[in-house]
Amino acid sequence: MVRRVAMFLLLALVGCRPATSELADISDVSSVFDETAGRWVDLTHSFSASSIYWPTDTLGFVLQELAYGPTDGGWFYSSYRYSAAEHGGTHLDAPIHFAEGRRTTDEIPLSALIGPAVVVDVSDRAHPDYLVSVADLEAWEAAHGPMPSGGILLLRTGWGARYGDRASYLGTDLTGPDAVPELHFPGLDPEAAQWLVDNRDIVALGLDTPSLDYGQSADFRAHVILNSDNVAGIENVANLDQLPASGSFVVALPMKIEGGSGGPLRIVAFVPGI
């Protein structure tokens, strides 16, 4: 399966050129992974004590040292225990997060986590309560063509640059329930979420903010609409400024938590060379 995914990725990048032999197949696949055919971009914020979690989660990410240093046997050894909620830092929202009976984290197929990506950039006009609209999506398509079937839609609001400043990123430095009414950051307009479900075939939607819904949302309608259609969410995405509007491929593999509603995510993108 891994090799088939790699071949799909490569053949799509080089225009679906058929391989002439098994040896050529292997060579082509290796050119993706050794970056001779393009470059890889890490879209993941590192997990640490400064990782941003929803303000009602006051624990955050905790890394506890269990061992660090030389052993009695003469070798070096280090080991840690970590604890964290599913939804914090760069992470995946499984469809069951806001839709009963939809896919849990372990039930999401690889085809819904790996695919061609498009980046809709609204960073030149986004403000703390901005909603990415149907007009934004239609304007992108007018410039770049239809979104690919089975694709991953990434929304760049510019908020990723604020990730190191909690108050600027969330709109408040408060924690606990009192923080929720003070949240201000961009998100997806529920009308746009419905337009995507009705008219396009995306498998996941990610953005560089803490939530698919904007900070002042009281009903999380964008989550509900997308998750109900088994579309996964990806939140707190990093480095979207390093991706082109179209032509890249994304691999978004979360911790495979059985029955989970999400999980910590390592998301990367491959950008083909010119």
Residues marked active site are found at 97
193 contacts 221 by C-beta, under 8 angstroms = yes
How many residues does this entry show for the chain? 274
Q: What is the rounded distance in angstroms from the CA atom of residue 236 to the CA atom of residue 243? A: 16
